[in-house]
Amino acid sequence: MLVAGIGNIFLGDDGFGPEVVRRLPPTRPEGVRVTDYGIRGMHLAYDLLDDWDALVLVDAIPDRGAPGRVEILRAEPDSGAAGFDGHAMTPEAVFRTVRALGGTVPPTVVVGCQVGSVAEAMGLTEPVAAAVPTAVAAVGRVLTELLDRQEV
């Protein structure tokens, strides 16, 4: 399984994904890889060409609710038209790139946090920073559930 933190640390709360993966415990189950991709969408797309059982994306969620609210969502990686965008980092763009390169996106879960601000700034806003431990715990629960399904 691949846990991917994505986001731009220079855009305030967009740096949520990298901050969460930085705080994940260093010991993890066998077969789980954790990587801070930041804004390197092509790197993530190429890594997804390997055979992964699941992908857990950790990302900021656009302002659709109270800042700092952590959500666990199932992504639909097989929807959308195929295309190639070497500069975009949105999950949809990464998924399109994987398909354009001939790969298949694994089942995907997003652990996201509602943003407060994505203005140019280093560091998370207070509500989003306070949500990081909640998100770390959520990633742990998601991995446990995914690993339990594999053992059945």
Query: Can you tell me the mean pLDDT for 39-61?
Result: 94
Query: Can you tell me the mean pLDDT for 110-121?
Result: 95
CA max distance for the chain: 46
Q: What is the distance of C-alpha 31 from the center of its chain?
A: 17
What is residue 65's predicted lDDT score, i.e. its pLDDT? 85
Percent of the chain with pLDDT over 70: 90
Q: Which two tokens stand for residue 73?
A: 């969502």
What is residue 78's predicted lDDT score, i.e. its pLDDT? 61
Q: Across the chain, what does the average pLDDT equal?
A: 89
Architecture per CATH, 2-151? 3-Layer(aba) Sandwich (3.40)
Percent of the chain with pLDDT over 90: 75
Tell me if the pTM is above 0.85: yes
Read out DSSP for the chain?
-EEEEE--TTBGGGGHHHHHHHHS-S---TT-EEEEEET-HHHHHHHTTS--S-EEEEEEE-SSSSTT-EEEEE--TT-S-----SS--SHHHHHHHHHHTT--PPPEEEEEEE-S--SSBSS--HHHHHHHHHHHHHHHHHHHHHHHHHH-
pLDDT 10s digits, 74-99: 887 665 444 434 335 678 888 999 99
Q: Where does residue 96 fall: left (phi above 0), alpha (psi -120 to 50 degrees), or beta otherwise?
A: alpha
- pLDDT-derived band at 50 (thresholds 50, 70, 90) equals very high
> Of 78 and 60, which is predicted with more confidence?
60
Please give the Cα distance from 99 to 140 (Å, whole number): 28
Query: Can you tell me the mean pLDDT for 51-55?
Result: 95
Please give the Cα distance from 24 to 12 (Å, whole number): 20
pLDDT(151) > 80: no
